[in-house]
């Protein structure tokens, strides 16, 4: 109430009542009347201005010779006026124009009020502002109206600084003017085109209760030299803001000065036109990023809104680097980011899966006092969910619950997705229940997320339950809904049910898209049903869909799986004709299949074709080459590929070294395996269970079981638990040495740790029993297997047959053979080799069942088309010489299984030095065929050596 202290309360009341009556009599709009009454306190302040003005300019405290700019009117803005201002401050600048009061109403009343509260006598002549005060109260009162608005834009403690160097920065200006008082802000007006240079003027705003006094002191230094320039320092009169506000008000109301509609300045027209074009391109051509960028660059001076839209555009594309670049450009122009802009930048990092940078943005927001919104929390929860960091997702979700009053379905959907991706469906179900208890309706996306989670754990019942509940809640199943069911059945290898879902889709009028077709093709490929896979591909063509890169890659996988490499390569050419650019994944199955088949020349040709297609070889491409060579046990060539990787600047990963280690492990070269294990550790790569598996294979293959125990201790130190495969390798290692007690101890440890033995575990333990001659324990293990529901396979029966043969009990071996056939298992070469060798070794004993067994085995081998290699034929013929020296029925039957060129050889004299093969199964893994003569792919050795010669 201090602003009314110069006049009595009765005078003010009388003035207000009189003005209101006159306004109503003159039929002014009520808004006009209210606006004028609100401006009355400002007038009362104007009448006091002379006293306020004299106090800081007392001749005792300031020099009377100091020149003052004519525009510096010492007017104060009423606090009551600001508190009573309408919500749209632009309206008060338009109203006087629409209903201009006549001279008999507004002007005369203002003139009367000036007489009731006359200003004090003017100060001496050196102060020109008092002459302007007299100019205010001229004939029609227009000068006072101008002064009144000038007061509205006048800020306490704000000064105008002109003639600044164009290169000057805010810090230098703030450092100079800080000597007069604390500074609130410094504004340097920058150019429209070159933001690095200013326009040569700016404003300084002082802070605190001494702001006005500090501004007055700063004005005394008008004309001071500053970096080679003579500064102009004035009190800000609000002229610039008044002009901009007046122009903006006319623009908002849609009036020009001449009465025409649609008023806009030329600069605003150009700027608004480019802004509108930018938004139009952003909405109509979001995929054409070049057009969007060009439209943005045409905006001469983008505002915070345009910068925010551009950051959001890059965020949706996952281009976090350009989003950050746009963000920094905005800050370089002096535009401070808001919560919306920060959220868009965090979204860009979340889409790009760089959550460390997203968290740095969050820290910056909090440093600037900007609180996170629900959208920001949702982005953080979803970003960590996509990176598989469910702990971080849950942490941000809990913080959102603590700080926000209410959550929505989006943030619940993100945290549910995080737990579904980690297969923690119990927690996901609890979150769905919690969401429903909060009164939040689950959208259809959450139903799809839950169905996808149950698909990952292959829980068919609950997935179908969610599907039925979706329909009960009134949702119409979409292509995504049916796609979840198709994905479930293809992963469970129930492709027939997936086809039923496909028929259900067609009946509902929903057509397949590329994803559903790809799922069906993958399902048939997993079953190695190549015909149906190609049939689905034909359906894609019939539906008029153009296959994408993923679908082409699946078809190439199918051709490679069936061994038709020519069609696979032709499919790559078809991709190029359809302008589908092949990726490195396109060539990987071709390269791997050719390398695995030992056709290294063709594999390298495809490797070169991949490079010519513009695909840069990745570590996975090289791994495919190395894996194919390792499976053929061509370790020297595999190491040369590894050297080429290093020359090409591609760093091997854990899988590369693990594959090399597996190759040396299969050869029993423990030294080389440990050498590459050390490289994994030295390169800082992650040591996982697969790496230790390869190392243990090398130790067990070479019989170094103490080294294997040391490896298991290191695994325990690295907190890597032993799984079934690790135990299988260890038990198989002890079985090779015939140490049944150590193998039995490992079986006991498995049960204690809750690791379930599988068929390979039992087979390895049975092998240990057979090596130790403990056939009773071996048969007891067979019964134990059947009790827990593990059925013996061909390898298990082969191990038993070999055990009984070593125990010189061929009749028991024959019984195992008959039991295997009753179980519906088909004998392989290893079974026939083992059983025939056992019977031939006991054929000198004249027993009928042995002769009968030999003849029966020969007949079955002929029916199956099995032919032994030359070494096995020589060994069996030596046994025949002891049974039938001059030939007979057994000799005639057995020779039918010999190689076709057996009779052309000089029989035993040519190859009589071939060693006995009774223990062949002991010397090889059960995966190796006893009839295998070794690798004979040396036709490409010269070509390979030439290609990889360093």
User: DSSP states of 400-418 as a string?
Assistant: HHHH-S---HHHHHHHHHH
Q: How far apart are CA 641 and CA 651, in angstroms?
A: 12
pLDDT range class, residue 879, cuts 50, 70, 90: confident
pLDDT range class, residue 910, cuts 50, 70, 90: very low
pLDDT value at residue 934? 37
**pLDDT tens track for 791-850:** 888 888 888 888 887 887 878 888 888 888 888 888 887 888 887 877 777 665 556 677
Contact 339, 371 (CB under 8 A): yes
Q: Which residues contact 318 (CB under 8 A, 6 or more apart)?
A: 348, 351, 352
Count of other CB atoms within 10 angstroms of residue 833: 25
Residue 625 CA: distances (Å) to CA of 12, 45, 433, 565, 618: 96, 89, 50, 16, 11
pLDDT range class, residue 50, cuts 50, 70, 90: very low
**pLDDT tens track for 250-296:** 666 655 444 444 555 676 677 778 888 888 888 888 888 888 888 88
pLDDT value at residue 520? 92
pLDDT over threshold 70, residue 408: yes
pLDDT value at residue 835? 78
pLDDT value at residue 844? 59
Q: Phi/psi of residue 48, each to 5°? A: -90, -5
Q: Which residues contact 162 (CB under 8 A, 6 or more apart)?
A: 200, 201, 231, 232, 233, 234
How many Å separate Cα 828 from the centre of its chain?
Answer: 48
Give me the residues paired with residue 235 across strands. Answer: 159
pLDDT value at residue 483? 93
Average pLDDT over residues 103-113: 38
pLDDT over threshold 90, residue 720: no
Q: How far apart are CA 14 and CA 383, in angstroms?
A: 67
Contact 832, 862 (CB under 8 A): no
**Between 313 and 859, the higher pLDDT residue:** 313
Supply 915's token pair: 């060693």
pLDDT value at residue 904? 53
Supply 45's token pair: 């302040």
Q: Are strands 229-230 and 158-162 parallel, antiparallel or unpaired?
A: unpaired
Q: How far apart are CA 799 and CA 821, in angstroms?
A: 15
Report H helices in 648-682.
654-667, 670-682
Instruction: Name the CA dihedral angle for 508, 514, 518, 520, rounded to a multiple of 10 degrees.
Output: 20
pLDDT value at residue 625? 85
pLDDT range class, residue 325, cuts 50, 70, 90: very high
Q: Phi/psi of residue 11, each to 5°? A: -65, -45
Nearest to 493 by CA among 447, 526, 540: 526
pLDDT value at residue 377? 95
pLDDT over threshold 70, residue 463: yes
**Between 873 and 404, the higher pLDDT residue:** 404
Weakest mean pLDDT among 27-31, 185-189, 405-409, 861-865 = 27-31
pLDDT range class, residue 500, cuts 50, 70, 90: very high
pLDDT value at residue 265? 64
**pLDDT tens track for 430-461:** 999 999 888 888 899 999 999 999 999 999 99
pLDDT range class, residue 630, cuts 50, 70, 90: confident
Supply 699's token pair: 């130790």
Report H helices in 183-285.
211-219, 239-253, 266-284
pLDDT value at residue 942? 43
Weakest mean pLDDT among 231-235, 487-491, 927-931 = 927-931
pLDDT range class, residue 486, cuts 50, 70, 90: very high
Q: Please state, for a pLDDT cut of 70, what percent of the chain lies above it.
A: 74
Average pLDDT over residues 29-58: 37
**Between 16 and 396, the higher pLDDT residue:** 396
Q: Is residue 630 within a helix (H) or strand (E), and if so which, with residue range?
A: helix 619-631
What's the chain's length in residues?
A: 950
pLDDT value at residue 912? 43
Contact 553, 568 (CB under 8 A): no
pLDDT range class, residue 412, cuts 50, 70, 90: very high
Instruction: Name the CA dihedral angle for 321, 324, 330, 334, rounded to a multiple of 10 degrees.
Output: -130
Report H helices in 154-257.
170-177, 211-219, 239-253
pLDDT over threshold 90, residue 64: no
């Amino acid at each position: 109430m201090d602003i009314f202290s110069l006049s009595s309360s009765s005078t003010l009341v009388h003035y207000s009542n009189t003005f209101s009556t006159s306004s109503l009599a003159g039929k002014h709009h009520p808004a006009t009347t209210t606006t004028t009454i609100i401006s009355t306190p400002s007038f009362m302040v104007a009448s006091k201005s002379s006293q306020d003005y004299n106090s800081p300019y007392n001749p005792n405290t300031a020099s009377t010779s100091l020149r003052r700019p004519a525009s510096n009117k010492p007017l104060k803005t009423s606090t009551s006026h600001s508190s009573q201002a309408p919500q749209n401050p632009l309206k008060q600048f338009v109203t006087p124009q629409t209903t201009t009061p006549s001279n008999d109403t507004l002007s005369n009343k203002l003139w009367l009020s000036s007489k009731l509260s006359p200003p004090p006598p003017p100060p001496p002549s050196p102060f020109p502002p008092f002459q302007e005060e007299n100019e205010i109260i001229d004939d029609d009162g227009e000068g006072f109206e101008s002064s009144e608005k000038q007061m509205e834009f006048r800020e306490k403690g704000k000064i105008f600084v002109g003639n600044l160097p164009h290169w000057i920065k805010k810090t230098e200006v703030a450092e100079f003017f800080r000597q007069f008082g604390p500074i609130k802000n410094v504004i340097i007006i920058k150019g429209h085109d070159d933001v690095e240079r200013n326009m040569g003027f700016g404003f300084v705003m002082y802070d605190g209760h001494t702001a006005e006094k500090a501004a007055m002191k700063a004005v005394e230094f008008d004309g001071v030299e500053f970096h080679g320039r003579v500064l102009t320092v004035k009190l800000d009169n609000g002229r610039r803001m008044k002009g901009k506000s007046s122009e903006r008000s006319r623009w908002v109301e849609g009036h020009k000065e001449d009465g025409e509609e649609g008023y806009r300045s030329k600069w605003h027209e150009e700027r608004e036109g480019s802004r509108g074009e930018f938004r139009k391109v952003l909405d109509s051509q979001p995929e054409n990023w070049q057009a969007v960028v060009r439209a943005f660059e045409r905006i001469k001076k983008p505002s915070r809104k345009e910068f925010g839209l551009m950051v959001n555009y890059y965020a949706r594309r996952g281009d976090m680097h350009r989003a950050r670049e746009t963000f920094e450009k905005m800050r370089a122009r002096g535009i401070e980011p808001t919560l919306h802009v920060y959220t868009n930048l965090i979204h860009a990092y979340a889409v790009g899966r760089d959550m460390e940078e997203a968290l740095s943005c969050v820290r910056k927001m909090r440093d600037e006092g900007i609180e996170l919104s629900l959208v920001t929390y949702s982005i953080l929860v979803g970003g960590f969910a996509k990176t598989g960091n469910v702990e971080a997702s849950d942490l941000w979700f809990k913080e959102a619950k603590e700080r926000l009053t209410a959550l929505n379905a989006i943030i619940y959907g993100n945290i549910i997705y995080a737990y579904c991706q980690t297969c923690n469906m119990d927690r996901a179900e609890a979150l769905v229940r919690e969401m429903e208890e909060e009164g939040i309706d689950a959208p259809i996306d959450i139903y799809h997320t839950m169905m996808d989670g149950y698909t990952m754990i292959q829980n068919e019942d609950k997935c179908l339950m969610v599907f039925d509940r979706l329909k009960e809640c009134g949702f119409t199943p979409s292509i995504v809904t049916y796609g979840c069911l198709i994905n479930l059945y293809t992963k469970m290898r129930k492709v027939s049910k997936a086809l039923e879902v496909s028929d259900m889709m067609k009946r509902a009028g929903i057509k397949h898209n590329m994803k559903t077709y790809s799922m069906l093709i993958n399902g048939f490929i997993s079953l190695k049903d190549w015909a149906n896979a190609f049939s689905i591909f034909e359906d894609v063509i019939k539906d008029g869909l153009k296959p994408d890169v993923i679908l082409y890659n699946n078809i190439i996988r199918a051709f490679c799986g069936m061994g038709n490499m020519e069609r696979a390569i032709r499919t790559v050419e078809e991709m190029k004709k359809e302008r589908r650019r092949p990726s490195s994944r396109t060539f990987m199955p071709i390269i791997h299949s050719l390398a695995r088949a030992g056709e290294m020349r063709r594999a390298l040709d495809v490797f070169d074709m991949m490079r010519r297609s513009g695909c840069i070889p990745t570590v996975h491409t090289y791994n495919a080459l190395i894996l194919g060579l390792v499976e053929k046990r061509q370790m020297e060539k595999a190491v040369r590929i590894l050297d080429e990787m290093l020359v090409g600047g591609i760093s091997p990963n854990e899988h590369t070294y693990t594959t090399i280690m597996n190759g040396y492990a299969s050869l029993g070269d423990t030294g080389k395996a440990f050498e590459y294990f050390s490289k994994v550790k030295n390169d800082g790569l992650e040591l996982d269970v697969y790496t230790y598996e390869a190392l243990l294979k090398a130790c067990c293959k070479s019989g170094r079981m103490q080294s294997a125990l040391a490896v298991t201790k290191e695994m325990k130190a690295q907190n890597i638990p032993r799984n079934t495969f690790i135990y299988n390798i260890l038990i198989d290692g002890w079985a090779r040495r015939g140490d049944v007690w150590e193998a039995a101890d490992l079986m006991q440890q498995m049960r204690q740790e809750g690791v379930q033995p599988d068929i390979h575990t039992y087979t390895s333990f049975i092998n240990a029993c057979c090596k130790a001659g403990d056939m009773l324990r071996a048969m007891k293990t067979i019964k134990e297997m059947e009790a827990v529901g593990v059925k013996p396979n061909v390898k298990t029966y082969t191990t038993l047959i070999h055990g009984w043969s070593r125990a010189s009990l061929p009749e028991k071996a024959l019984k195992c053979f008959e039991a295997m056939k009753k179980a519906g298992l088909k004998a392989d070469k290893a079974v026939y080799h083992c059983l025939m060798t056992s019977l031939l070794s006991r054929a000198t004993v004249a027993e009928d069942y042995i002769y009968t067994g030999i003849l029966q085995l020969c007949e079955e081998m002929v029916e199956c088309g099995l032919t032994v290699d030359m070494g096995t034929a020589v060994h069996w013929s030596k046994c025949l010489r002891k049974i039938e020296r001059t030939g007979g029925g057994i000799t005639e039957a057995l020779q039918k299984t010999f190689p076709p060129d057996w009779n052309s050889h000089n029989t035993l004299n040519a190859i009589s030095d071939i060693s006995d093969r009774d223990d062949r199964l002991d010397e090889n893994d059960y995966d190796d065929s006893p009839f295998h003569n070794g690798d004979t792919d040396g036709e490409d050795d010269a070509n390979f050596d030439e290609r990889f010669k360093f």
